[in-house]
Structure 1
Amino acid sequence: MNDAPRSVGRLRYRWWLALLGGAAASLGQAPFGLWPVSLVALAFIIHLAQSRPTRRSMAAALWWVGTGYFLASLNWLVEPFMVDAARDGWMAPFAVVFMAGGLALFWGAAGAAAFRLGPFGLAATLSLAELTRSLILTGFPWALIGHIWIGTPVAQLAALGGPHLLTILALLVAALPVALRRPLPGFAAGVALTVLLIGAGWLRTTLVPIPETPANAPIVRLVQPNAPQDEKWDPMKSGTFFERQLTYTEAEPRPDLVVWPETAVPYFLETAPGAIEVMADAAAGIPVVFGIQRYEHPRYFNALALLNAEGEVGQVYDKAHLVPFGEYVPFADLLAKVGIHGLAANEGGGFSSGVAGSQVVLPGIGPALPLICYEGIFAEEVNATETRPRVLLLITNDAWFGKFSGPYQHVAQARLRAIEMGLPMIRVANTGVSAMIDPHGNLIESLPLGEAGFLDVPLPEALPATPFDRFADWLAIGVILATLALGLHHARRNRVDAESPEP
């Protein structure tokens, strides 16, 4: 009579265990950076999945794990809805829960696909799930498993195969102890593989050193006004932030380039001739990159513009990869009737997309690949330009992401883009973290989160084109498929063993 309640209790306990295991696996993400904890948690997750007796239960276990992982790592998703809490706050819990549960479906599918494929098969299908969620439905490659390596030497291997190579390597480390089925040898094998990967990353920085920055390198000024999102567009306060940027721009000694953050100018480009004239006076012939909104009725754009030495706006880049439900809303007119609006869009149904892969030429520096905020998280798009730029140029407004995990995860991904491409990155954020990032992903100098100020930093030299720059994800896909082959071999061997008659 009591067996059924006890069985349900054990079932619930396993799902809570799966949720906690997923949350623990997220601790390798910024701002914690506890990558050893993530590796141990991933090994536990693979072991938990392997104990499931049916395909359905294995898929369910991985869905619960994924839900815990994404709830913990994407907790910052609450923040954009709280900027205007009276209008949007009611959506925050739904957005976070549905986002976590939705992304966890990819992990659940990986669990179903890996049934009977063993630990290595699950490592391969989880890697494919992470690759898939990075690409479909406009993609969302935030908090990828491979991001736990950022800040360690292993991150250097992204220059070979991008973020998905880092993901499969993390999962191989976690799968190895489970595959060996013996705790002590398995743990030793996982540690040995981790040490090997760290050594390989260190070797890459030794064999491909960054050239010394010349004495006459261009000096770039990073301007961080620190405008809180709930005050940024307030007519009583926006002028203060604009004046702050002007003051930082005209400070002596003069740099070779000044960079302001995303939407730094609180006017539309077409209605801002007075503001542009004041900026030109402050710059005194120094080029200024700045973020601004513009329109070509009925279309609106989130743009990056270059104020040239003559005090004219010479080049404009319109953001190409927009944030769904942030900068545009599908079926905007219909959803607006039930109170759903684009959080970052000031006009109509949101922004329109620009042309992806466009470059701007920075005087005295050369071609730069412009990236506005969200665009910096897409490795496949950053390396999709026809010609190799001299530098990556990212402007952003991370005030949307709060002050805990979001901004730090965003800058961590910027570091990875620099490693993948072998290029320096100029990163300027409204509230921080603004930084000059070298081609090995190091923050040469940075302005902390939540502080106003500016930095003058020499631009580092670029490295030669990396394998990832040339071949994109193909090396990572090759490693994933090889790992999947191990899983298929495991399934075939188990099937043969099951069919063999007992002696």
Structure 2
Amino acid sequence: MSERPAKRDTQSAAASALPRGLLRQFTQPRFAPFVSIVLGVLLAQTFGRQQLGGWSIVILAAWISLLWADTQPRPKDRAKRGALLGFSLGLGWFTGGLWWLYISMAVYGGMAPPIAGGALLLFCAYLALYPTLAAALAAALAPAAGREPWKLARAIGAALALAGGWTLAEWLRGTLFTGFPWLALGYAQVGNPLSGYAPVIGQYGVNFVAALAAALLALLSQVSLRGALVSLGLLVALFLGGLQLQQVRWTHAVGPTLKVALLQGDVAQSEKFKPETLGPTLQLYGNWLSSLKANLIVTPETAVPVLPEDLDPGYLRQIERALREHHTAALLGIPLTRGADQYTNSVLGLGGAAPYRYDKSHLVPFGEFVPYGFHWFVKLMDMPLGSFARGGLDQPPFVVRGVKVAPNICYEDLFGAQMAQRFRNPAHAPNVFANLTNLGWFGNTIIIPQHLEIARMRSLEFQIPGIRATNTGATAIINAHGQVAAELPPYTVGVLTGSVQGHAGLTPFAWLASRYGVWPEVLLAAFALLLGWALTRLQRGGTHHHNARV
């Protein structure tokens, strides 16, 4: 009789030890990199899917727990392991979220599939160097894992150091070599309370807050009960602060409500530049521009894919005449020339009080200019690539019935601090953003909602509405609070009509970024990193005074 309870206790202990044993196995050097890759792939799935955006914090927290589960006493050794985990996370993250780049190279670029696949992996490996740097730094500064819980000050320091280092690495990724901050952590937060920080500290600030939230969540596995309560309290405070900031209105409605018509031609990318399909494309957009009645019509990027001098002499004149008859203005995507030997990816303003032209300023590497030393790579693709000239960052807006509409082309809206330069001159400060895009190069893939997510972040940062006219999607109207008011189904031919109310005023982010660029956010991250470093050095030798884990 007395032996039965002991048997049940033994079985219970064995059962409870099983998950702990599995967890220890996952943190072993031979398994941890593979777990990190899987977490990176899962992290990538939270972008472009609003219902999954909040999971980015949970997934990152799981990875941080893996990063901090290092018992090696020397910071140098922890940094090496951290670098490996950061690289493996980045490889899974970027290949899992940017795989659509393969389509542009292999399907539309004519590149051999093995070469296109290799190029994609190399690019993702390059991007993975940035989380590698952040992870090595965070692992070196964090205390070593052990049987005793971390002291609270050092734990908070480790969380601050991780968030600061992560944000600095993301800033570098979005800056060096013209930058590519696609899939930045802040973008996944556009649908949750942390987006409330966007008009104050911008996307990189949201990035920092999200990374800090993930680190605070990960601390629950490293601190005592008291430390866990403090971490949870700080985590709740971050979300409550975001909720409160969502209620603050930094801008106000201005001018008349504009009736807009946003065109989506769904012209196949493989057919767009063929002479035999040019006629139907010109007819499609010509008919829309000449017949639709709205205050503003917007076409996609390069809706007219040839230079004006290569068009029928009466094509643009007829459109201009019809627009004036209907008292309608239009933004037309078209390539233009500048001087004798320069080309620009541009927008023409038609039907306005004065001639208007906008030239794209942030060009796409390999698509619109060839980086030094990579001409050999471009020769492997059969694509109409060229070397385009750049426009300025502070070009004036297109004025429609007193409302200032600021065009941007393609992925220019990925760079919030550059778009903030439009607000430097109060006379040019936009009331509405208009994005003209062609994502047909990348197929009917996750890139479409990913780019829409980015556009929503810009409306959140500046609290002004955005309208998007795209070839294949997402053609949409976004209000001043970053919410999608209307959207066409992707890969359909259609016109999205609706109303847009312009907004005026400056958010704190718009004011700071228009004067100092992204440096305020960089300084915030650097201060957090230095403060975290200082806190992690406190009582480093006093591990024998730790309280037992509760």
TM-score range, shorter chain: 0.7 to 0.9
Number of the residue aligned with 1:370: 407
Q: Equivalents in 2 of 1:79, 1:187: separation in Å?
A: 46
Kindly indicate whether the alpha-carbon contact (under 8 Å) linking 1:77 and 1:95 is maintained by their aligned counterparts in 2: no
| SS of 2:286 mapped into structure 1 | helix
Letter in structure 1 aligned against 2:438: N
Which deviates more from structure 2 when the two are superposed, residues 86-95 or residues 104-113?
Answer: 86-95
- 382, 394, 398: which one aligns with 1:361: 398
Aligned residues, how many?
Answer: 486
Number of the residue aligned with 2:494: 453
Number of the residue aligned with 2:17: none
Q: Unpaired runs of 5+ in structure 1?
A: 1-6
Number of the residue aligned with 1:164: 204
Alpha-carbon distance change, 267 to 183 in structure 1, aligned in 2, over 3 angstroms: farther
Alpha-carbon distance change, 446 to 60 in structure 1, aligned in 2, over 3 angstroms: same
Alpha-carbon distance change, 282 to 342 in structure 1, aligned in 2, over 3 angstroms: farther
Alpha-carbon distance change, 486 to 333 in structure 1, aligned in 2, over 3 angstroms: closer
Which deviates more from structure 2 when the two are superposed, residues 41-50 or residues 116-125?
Answer: 116-125
Aligned-residue offset at 1:243 = 1.9
Letter in structure 2 aligned against 1:24: L
Question: What is the percentage of aligned positions where both structures have the same residue?
Answer: 28
Aligned-residue offset at 1:33 = 4.2
Q: Equivalents in 1 of 2:64, 2:382: separation in Å?
A: 38
| SS of 1:371 mapped into structure 2 | strand
**1:262 aligned onto 2:301:** yes
Alpha-carbon distance change, 455 to 334 in structure 1, aligned in 2, over 3 angstroms: closer
Alpha-carbon distance change, 340 to 301 in structure 1, aligned in 2, over 3 angstroms: farther
**1:246 aligned onto 2:286:** yes
Kindly indicate whether the alpha-carbon contact (under 8 Å) linking 1:224 and 1:245 is maintained by their aligned counterparts in 2: no
Number of the residue aligned with 2:134: 110
| SS of 2:358 mapped into structure 1 | strand
Which deviates more from structure 2 when the two are superposed, residues 455-464 or residues 39-48?
Answer: 455-464
Letter in structure 2 aligned against 1:372: I
| SS of 2:110 mapped into structure 1 | helix
| SS of 1:289 mapped into structure 2 | strand
Kindly indicate whether the alpha-carbon contact (under 8 Å) linking 1:154 and 1:198 is maintained by their aligned counterparts in 2: yes
Aligned-residue offset at 1:350 = 2.3
- 480, 485, 489: which one aligns with 2:525: 480
Instruction: Give CA-to-partner distance per residue, 1:384-423, whole Å, 9 cap, x none.
Output: 2322222212111111232121111111101111111121
| SS of 1:160 mapped into structure 2 | helix
Q: Equivalents in 1 of 2:106, 2:396: separation in Å?
A: 34
Q: Equivalents in 1 of 2:171, 2:110: separation in Å?
A: 37
Letter in structure 1 aligned against 2:138: A
Number of the residue aligned with 2:11: none
Number of the residue aligned with 1:307: 350
Number of the residue aligned with 1:176: 216
**1:25 aligned onto 2:70:** no
Number of the residue aligned with 2:369: 328
Q: Equivalents in 2 of 1:326, 1:124: separation in Å?
A: 33
| SS of 1:100 mapped into structure 2 | helix
**1:291 aligned onto 2:333:** yes
Letter in structure 1 aligned against 2:302: T
Q: Equivalents in 1 of 2:227, 2:269: separation in Å?
A: 49
**1:129 aligned onto 2:176:** no
Q: Equivalents in 1 of 2:486, 2:264: separation in Å?
A: 13
- 310, 326, 329: which one aligns with 1:271: 310
Alpha-carbon distance change, 483 to 316 in structure 1, aligned in 2, over 3 angstroms: same
| SS of 1:114 mapped into structure 2 | helix
Letter in structure 2 aligned against 1:106: Y
Alpha-carbon distance change, 36 to 221 in structure 1, aligned in 2, over 3 angstroms: closer
| SS of 1:140 mapped into structure 2 | coil
Q: Equivalents in 2 of 1:314, 1:195: separation in Å?
A: 52
Q: Equivalents in 2 of 1:484, 1:136: separation in Å?
A: 21
Kindly indicate whether the alpha-carbon contact (under 8 Å) linking 2:359 and 2:392 is maintained by their aligned counterparts in 1: yes
| SS of 1:384 mapped into structure 2 | helix
| SS of 1:231 mapped into structure 2 | coil
Q: Equivalents in 2 of 1:78, 1:382: separation in Å?
A: 28
**1:400 aligned onto 2:441:** yes
Alpha-carbon distance change, 110 to 342 in structure 1, aligned in 2, over 3 angstroms: farther
Which deviates more from structure 2 when the two are superposed, residues 366-375 or residues 31-40?
Answer: 31-40
Q: Equivalents in 2 of 1:260, 1:279: separation in Å?
A: 13
Letter in structure 2 aligned against 1:260: T
Kindly indicate whether the alpha-carbon contact (under 8 Å) linking 2:213 and 2:238 is maintained by their aligned counterparts in 1: no
Aligned-residue offset at 1:184 = 7.9
Q: Equivalents in 2 of 1:91, 1:418: separation in Å?
A: 38
The CA RMSD over aligned residues, in Å, is: 2.9
Q: Equivalents in 2 of 1:469, 1:186: separation in Å?
A: 37
Letter in structure 2 aligned against 1:374: Y
Number of the residue aligned with 1:440: 481
With normalisation by structure 2, the TM-score equals 0.81
- 32, 53, 62: which one aligns with 1:44: 62
Kindly indicate whether the alpha-carbon contact (under 8 Å) linking 1:287 and 1:309 is maintained by their aligned counterparts in 2: yes
Which deviates more from structure 2 when the two are superposed, residues 55-64 or residues 373-382?
Answer: 55-64
Aligned-residue offset at 1:305 = 0.8
Letter in structure 2 aligned against 1:403: N
Instruction: Give CA-to-partner distance per residue, 1:340-374, whole Å, 9 cap, x none.
Output: 459552xxx42222222212332314433221101
Q: Equivalents in 1 of 2:243, 2:294: separation in Å?
A: 34
Aligned-residue offset at 1:445 = 1.7
The structure with the larger Rg is 2
With normalisation by structure 1, the TM-score equals 0.88
Kindly indicate whether the alpha-carbon contact (under 8 Å) linking 2:251 and 2:506 is maintained by their aligned counterparts in 1: no
Alpha-carbon distance change, 177 to 411 in structure 1, aligned in 2, over 3 angstroms: closer
